[in-house]
Structures are given as structure tokens and as C-alpha cells.
Amino acid sequence: MSTTPEFRNFIDGGWVAARNDEWIDVVSPRNRQVIARVPRGGEKDVADAVEAAGRAFPGWRDTAPRARGRLLQQIADAIEPHIERIGRQIADENGNALRTQARGEVQYAVDVFHYFGSVASETKGETIPLNAHVLDYSRREPIGVVGAIVPWNAPVQLASMKIAAALAAGNSLVLKAAEDAPLAVLEIVKICADFLPAGVLNCVVGYGTEAGEALITHPAVRKLSFTGSTAVGKRVMAAAAERIVPVSLELGGKNPQIVFPDADEDWVVQGVVTGMRFVRQGQSCTAGSRLFVHHSIVDSFVEKVTAHLSKLKVGDPLDEATDMGAVVNQKQYDRVCSFIDEGLQRGEARVAIGGRPPSEGPLSEGYYIEPTVFVGIENDWRIAQEEIFGPVLCVIPWDDEEEVVRMANDTHYGLSAFVWTHDLGKALRTAHAIDAGWVQVNQGGGQVLGQSYGGYKQSGIGREFSLEGMLESFTERKHVSVDTSH
């Protein structure tokens, strides 16, 4: 008998296998071993979940917002004692290092449930002074059944955002977890299940082309909230267009970091490395993967970056000494390697550190890729234009401020950007000129709750990380106009 742990879908308050009894193996990128199996959910499972969410919706909608908020806060408290266990689960299933990433991600989920729990009763409307006899007021009403889809790179953070924001506003939810990293998400759902009425939250695991398609095309789903690649985002938007349902899309990025000549300093190097999300193997939508460094400092700056990166320890994500774990799966590993090969083949570029991953030794046992920096890249090369979603940084030299802004904007993405200089005028001029939803000046950290975070251009539509984002993404606005003269 197999001893592989088995996880199930959560539908209508119960844990169930897929109706067709098919399964997906979850493989750990640490060592390529199967660590669990999860249901290969499909159309029927999604239909069961959407129907359950539809039945649960009126009761949840009519629960006082304060009471909904209190339940979300209780969920936050209940997750807290499990940070270590769930953090280890993330590290094991998606390869993010426990110390530098995975543990913090679960703490972030705790903060998310607290945040949205505390703003649940802020779903206020307005009154408008139309004239003396008319009372016109607006209501923020939940939309109904929300279909939410998350990727594998920050599965717990992103699933928690969607669960907490949608539920705080009074919607019910069907969540499709990513097939590559569903386990920690199911652990979060399990904790939520102790507090929520049956059907309010449902979670189905399965492939995008099966469970994902079933969810985005289901006629009873009234809102789609998707985080993932731009290619799939386009498909989600097309499915939403068929039924005219609102859609929020948080998609990819190929984000610029601009280093001015006065910023050839260690703290900038540290910030650039953080901004590139090397300790997440570059697997972040906000990774600043195009590094524009002024010609006059490029050699010395790259030398400092290289020295800094050479100290990062790549290895088993569960090892406390590890800074940087493994990329998520074979497909992603092959994709990143193909970009590295392409860079290596271009005679004009040079590799400052990293390159092809080792084919023997302990790092060859999992999907480990060392931090890699290419210097002398042109902004229009494929390696500088496509989202690699791996630990590969492209250094592009520049001379003129206008030129660098033009190059930074010369991409179909527009998610985030970073500007590094002591000159505040230059910094703000550049921040305002860049087409991106989030520009950081002299800092390189991750999204903070309360920021209405999201993308320009093909990086997405809508905002979800804040109270305003919750109102925009998960409520409908209704006006009621009353003639008081009768």
C-alpha cells in the first residue's frame, strides 16, 4: 500500500477526492521525490464547489460584516501556531527557503487575515445631496460566488489574500490551488474550515486546463480573480468577456531597476539583490530583473553585485543555512536553463557569475540554479524582454536619463520598478515617468498590505492588496434613490 500522504479537495464543508478518482503527484523540487498526491479536480468537482458556494452565499452575505471580520481574525490567530509547520510544507513543495522566504510567507498570511478581518465593516456607501426631496445613497454589496486562481510561487500569501479579501466583503469563494504547490494552501483552508460555515470557502486542486478552465467558464461564477502568467491571464479575461463578469488580473513582470551614477554603494547593491528576489530564485512577479546601470559605474557595480551574490548559499530549502532554495519544477528548471544557454551563446554578453547549473554533486539532486548575472545585454534581446521567472539578472548599461526611462518602459509589462539615487529630483522624475503600478525608490522590499498593488499594461488589471482594492475588486456598488416627498 502507498504511504504517500493524500490530500483532498474541500467542497461544501467536507474533504473529498476528485469525482473521477484521479490524482496528481506533488514532486518536491528539493530532491525530485513525490511528497504527496492531490486530487486531479475537473469539471464535476468545480461544479460541486460552485453550487456549494452559491448555496452558502446568501447566509454569508447577510452575516454582519463585523461578525465576518471577527471570524477572519480568529483564523489569523489560529494560523499563527502553525507558521513553522506550514512554512516547512511550502519549502518542501515549491523550493522556497524556509528561513529567508517560506516562514515569512505564513506570517504574511496571518497579517492578511488580521488586516481584512479588521476592515470588513468598512464596506460603506455614500449619500449624495441630489436635491432636498431625494435621498440617494450607495451600498457596497458582495458580488456572489468568486472564482479565484493562484500560482505556485507564493501560494499561501496569494491564496490568503484572495480568501480574506473576498470573504471579508461577503462573497463566497471557490479557490483553485496551483497543481505544483497545493499542500500549504490546503493547510490554510483546513484552518479556515474550523471557523467558516460550509460552502463559504471551497478549494479544488487540478490542472489549469481542466479545473481552471471549468472555474473560469462556469456560468454561476460572478467574479474572476486570477494571479498568474500574462498568457493565462488573457485566456481568463476572454472567458470573463463571454459572460461579462468582472475580472482582476495580477500577471507577470519584467521589471526595471535603474541605478544612477551616484549610487555605486553597498547598500544599493544589497537593495538591488533584494529587488531581484534572488532568495526566491527570482520567482517573483515583482523581481527587478532588468538592471540598468549607468555606464560610468557599471564595472564596479557589477563587481559588488557579484561579490554579494557569491556569498548566498544555494541549497536545501529546509536547511536553516540556506539563503536560496530550488526552482519549482522540471519545466521551470528547463525554461530558466534555456535562457541561460541563450545568454551564454551571445558573444556580446558576458556572464559575471553563475551560468549553467551543476550537473553533479548535491545541487544536481534537485532543481537548483545558482544566481546568474549577464552583463552587456541589449534591452531588445529576448532574455531582456521575456519574464524568465528564475535567478537571472540582465545588466544593461545606459548613458542618458531620457534614454534609460525609454528603455525601462520599452516592455509590454508594467508591474514594478526600482530607482536608486541620492538625487531626489531625479528619483521622483524617474518614478513618475515609469509605466508601472509600483515604483520603489532606494528600497527593494515586497508588497505591503494596505498598498493598492497591481500592474499597468499587460501586468494586469485591478488592485487587491488594500481596503480600496477589496472594495474595487470584491463588491458591486448599488445606488438607491428615494423621493421623500410622497
* Torsions phi, psi for 234 (to 5 deg): -65, -40
Question: Closest CB to ligand NAD among 251 and 340?
Answer: 251
**How far is it, in rounded angstroms, from Cα 414 to Cα 20?**
41
For residue 388, how many other CB atoms are within 10 A of its CB?
25
Q: What cell was used for 268?
A: 544599493
152 binds ligand NAD (CB under 6 A): yes
Q: How far is the CB of 296 from ligand NAD (least distance, A)?
A: 32
Among 54, 151, 414, 444, binds ligand NAD (CB under 6 A): 151
Would strands 145-149 and 172-177 be described as parallel, antiparallel, or unpaired?
A: parallel
Report if residue 140 touches ligand NAD, rule: CB under 6 A. no
Stretch that binds ligand NAD, among 39-47, 77-85, 173-181, 342-350 (CB under 6 A): 173-181
User: From residue 244 to residue 263, what is the string marking binding to ligand NAD with x (rule CB under 6 A)?
Assistant: ------xxxx----------
Taking the complex as a whole, how short is the minimal distance between the CB of residue 70 and ligand NAD, in angstroms? 28
Among 119, 204, 216, 276, binds ligand NAD (CB under 6 A): 216
Residue 292 three-state SS? strand
Bridge partners (DSSP) of residue 175 are 148, 203
Q: For residues 127 and 209, which CB has a smaller minimum distance to ligand NAD in the complex? A: 209
By CB under 6 A, what part of segment 445-484 binds ligand NAD? 455, 460
Are the C-beta atoms of residues 247 and 236 closer than 8 Å to each other? yes
Closest among 49, 46, 117, 125 to 77, alpha carbons compared = 117
- 213 touching ligand NAD, by CB under 6 A: yes
Is 109 an interacting residue with respect to ligand NAD (CB under 6 A)? no
Q: Closest distance between ligand NAD and the C-beta of residue 409, in Å?
A: 18
Least distance (Å) between residue 456 CB and ligand NAD: 11
Positions 31 through 60 that interact with ligand NAD (CB under 6 A)? none
CA angle in degrees (0–180, nearest 5) for 172-177-181: 150
Of residues 367-426, those binding ligand NAD (CB under 6 A):
387, 389, 415
Nearer residue to ligand NAD within complex by CB, 25 or 266: 25
Q: What angle do CA 225, 102, 395 make, to 5 degrees?
A: 80
The closest alpha carbon to 212, from 235, 241, 183, belongs to: 235
In the complex, the smallest distance separating the C-beta of residue 240 from ligand NAD, rounded to whole angstroms, is 11
| Smallest distance, ligand NAD to C-beta of residue 217, A | 8
Q: What is the total count of residues that contact ligand NAD (CB under 6 A)?
A: 30
Q: Is 235 in the site for ligand NAD (CB under 6 A)?
A: yes
Q: Least distance to ligand NAD from the beta carbon of 32, Å?
A: 19
CA angle (186 as vertex; 249, 275 as ends), nearest 5? 50
Contacts of residue 20, defined as CB under 8 A and 6 or more positions apart, other chains included, come to 40, 42, 44
- 3-state DSSP assignment of residue 306: helix
Judged by phi (left if over 0) then psi (alpha if -120 to 50, else beta), residue 399 lies in alpha
* Site map 284..323 versus ligand NAD, x via CB under 6 A: -x--------------------------------------
Backbone CA torsion sign across 286, 292, 294, 297: positive
Residues known to be catalytic: 250, 285
Alpha carbons 303 and 309: distance in angstroms, whole number: 10
Q: Rounded CA gap, 324 and 280, in Å?
A: 6
The nearer residue to ligand NAD, 103 or 176, going by C-beta atoms, is 176
| Gap between the Cα atoms of 82 and 377, Å rounded | 44
- Which residue lies nearer to ligand NAD by CB, 79 or 415? 415
Taking the alpha carbons at both ends of the chain, their separation in whole angstroms is 76
Query: What are 53's three cell numbers?
Result: 458556494
Mark the segment that binds ligand NAD (CB under 6 A) among 45-53, 114-122, 172-180, 312-320. 172-180
Q: Which is nearer to ligand NAD, 10 or 301 (CB)?
A: 10
- What is the chain's alpha carbon radius of gyration, rounded to the nearest angstrom? 23
Rounded to an integer, what is the distance from CA 208 to the centroid of its chain?
Answer: 16
Cα atoms in the 13 Å half-sphere on the side-chain side of 202 = 33
Closest approach, Cβ 165 to ligand NAD, in A, equals: 13
Q: Is 153 in the site for ligand NAD (CB under 6 A)?
A: yes
106: number of CA atoms within 13 Å, CB side?
A: 30
The three three-digit cell numbers of residue 301, written as one number: 557595480
Closer CB to ligand NAD, residue 154 or residue 377?
Answer: 154
| Site stretch for ligand NAD (CB under 6 A), options 10-18, 222-230, 266-274, 372-380 | 222-230
Choices 228-236, 268-276, 346-354, 378-386; region in contact with ligand NAD by CB under 6 A: 228-236
Q: Return the residues of window 270-289 that contact ligand NAD according to CB under 6 A.
A: 285
CB of 280 to ligand NAD, least distance (A): 10
- Residues 185 and 193: their CA atoms lie apart, in Å, by 12
Task: Give 232 or 245: the residue with its C-beta nearer to ligand NAD.
Answer: 232
Name the residues that contact ligand NAD, by CB under 6 A. 149-154, 176, 178-179, 207-209, 212-213, 216, 227-229, 232, 235, 250-253, 285, 387, 389, 415, 455, 460
